[in-house]
Structure 1
Amino acid sequence: MVIPSIDDVFAAAKRIDGAVHRTPILTSSTLNDRFGREVFFKCENFQKIGAFKARGALNAVLNLDAVSIDLVTHSSGNHGAALAWAARRTNRAAYIICPSNASRFKRDAIVRYGGTLVDCGPDIVQRETALQGFLQQRKAAFIPPYDHEDIIAGQGTATLELLEDKPQITELWVPIGGGGLASGAIIAAAERCRVIGCEPELARDAHDSLERGARLPALPPSSIADGLLSSLGDLTFDILHRAKTTVHLVEEDEMRTAMALIWQTLKIVIEPSSAVPVAAALKYGSSNSEPIGILLSGGNYMPTGYE
Structure 2
Amino acid sequence: MTTTEAVASAPPDRNAIRAAEAVIRPHVRRTPVVEVAAADFGLDGAPFSFKLEFMQHSGTFKARGAFANLLIRPGAARGVVAASGGNHGAAVAYAAHKLGIKAHIYVPRISSQAKINRILQYGAEIVIGGDSYIDAYNASHAFAAEHGLLEVHAYDMFETLCGQGTVGLEWLEQAPGLDTLLVAVGGGGLIGGIAAAAAGRVRLIGVEPENAPTLHNAIEAGRPVDVPVSGVAADSLGARRIGSLSFSLSGFIDRSVLVTDEAIIAAQKTIWDVLRVAVEPGGAAALAAVLSGRYVPAPGEKVGVLLCGANTTAVKFD
TM-score range, shorter chain: over 0.9
Note if contact 2:84-2:137 (Cα within 8 Å) is conserved in structure 1: no
Q: Which residue, out of 251, 261, 264, partners 1:255?
A: 264
SS in 1 for 2:31: coil
Alignment partner of 1:180 out of 182, 189, 201: 189
Aligned counterparts of 2:22 and 2:242: Cα–Cα separation in 1: 27
CA shift for structure 1 position 260: 1.0
Alignment TM-score, normalising by the size of structure 1: 0.94
Letter paired with 1:232: I
| Unaligned segments of structure 1, at least 5 residues | none
Q: Describe how 1:43-58 pairs up with structure 2 within 5 A.
A: 43-58=52-67
Q: Distance in 1 between matches of 2:272 and 2:172?
A: 25
Counterparts of 1:223 and 1:213 in 2: how far apart (Å)? 27
Structure 1 partner of 2:299? 288
Per-residue CA deviations over 1:95-116 (Å, capped at 9, x if unaligned) read: 0011133101101110101211
1:93: how far off?
0.3
State the 1:166 CA deviation: 0.9
Shift of 1:17: 1.0
The partner residue of 2:51 within 36, 39, 42 is 42
Letter matched to residue 171 of structure 1? T
Q: Paired residue for 1:23?
A: 31
Structure 1 residue 305 displacement after superposition: 6.4
Aligned to 1:13: 21
Instruction: Tell me the CA shift for residue 247 of structure 1.
Output: 0.3
Equivalent residue in structure 1 for 2:243, among 220, 229, 233? 233
For the residue of structure 1 that corresponds to 2:211, the secondary structure is helix
Structure-1 separation of matches of 2:311 and 2:203: 27
Judge conservation of contact 1:155–1:180 (CA < 8 Å) in 2: yes
Q: Which residue of 1 aligns with 2:80?
A: 71
Distance 2:11 2:60 in 1: 23
Write the distance in 2 (CA, Å) between the matches of 1:257 and 1:67: 41
Matched residues in 1 for 2:76 and 2:139: separation? Answer: 25
Q: Is residue 283 of structure 2 the alignment partner of residue 274 of structure 1?
A: yes
1:149 to 136, 152, 158: 158
**What is the match of residue 5 of structure 2?**
none
Q: In the alignment, residue 73 of structure 1 is paired with which amino acid? A: A
Partner SS for 1:269: coil
Misfit runs of 4+, over 4 Å: none
Stretch deviating more after TM superposition (215-224 or 65-74): 215-224
CA distance in 2, matches of 1:77, 1:264: 26
Which region of structure 1 is more displaced relative to structure 2, 229-238 or 151-160? Answer: 229-238
Q: Distance in 1 between matches of 2:58 and 2:145?
A: 30
Deviations 1:46-94 (A, max 9, x none): 1101100001110111002225220001001110010011111221100
Distance 2:101 2:188 in 1: 27
- The residue matched to 1:18 in structure 2 has which SS? helix
Letter matched to residue 11 of structure 2: I
Q: How many equivalent residue pairs? A: 305
Given residue 297 of structure 1, which amino acid in structure 2 is its aligned partner? C
Query: How far off its partner does 1:215 sit?
Result: 1.1
CA drift at 1:135: 2.4
Measured in 2, the distance between the counterparts of 1:28 and 1:67 equals 41
What is the CA–CA distance in structure 1 between the aligned matches of 2:234 and 2:85, rounded to whole Å?
11
Name the SS for the 1:215 alignment partner: coil
Match of 2:4 in 1: none
Is 1:298 the equivalent of 2:309?
Answer: yes
Q: Which amino acid aligns with 2:124?
A: G
- 1:23–1:43 contact (8 Å) kept in structure 2: yes
Q: How far, CA to CA, are the matches of 2:147 and 2:227 in structure 1?
A: 29
Which stretch of the first structure deviates more once superposed, 15-24 or 116-125?
116-125
SS state at 1:68 partner: helix
CA RMSD across the alignment: 1.7
CA displacement at 1:221 relative to structure 2 = 2.5
Distance in 2 (CA, whole Å) between partners of 1:291 and 1:104 is 37
2:184 touches 2:206 (CA, 8 Å); kept in 1?
Answer: yes
Alpha-carbon contact 2:297-2:303 (below 8 Å) kept: no
Q: Structure 2: where are the runs of 5+ without partners? A: 1-7
Q: Secondary structure at the match of 2:43?
A: helix
Instruction: Give yes or no for contact 2:70–2:76 (8 Å, CA) kept in 1.
Output: no
1:161–1:32 distance in 2 versus 1, CA, 3 Å: farther
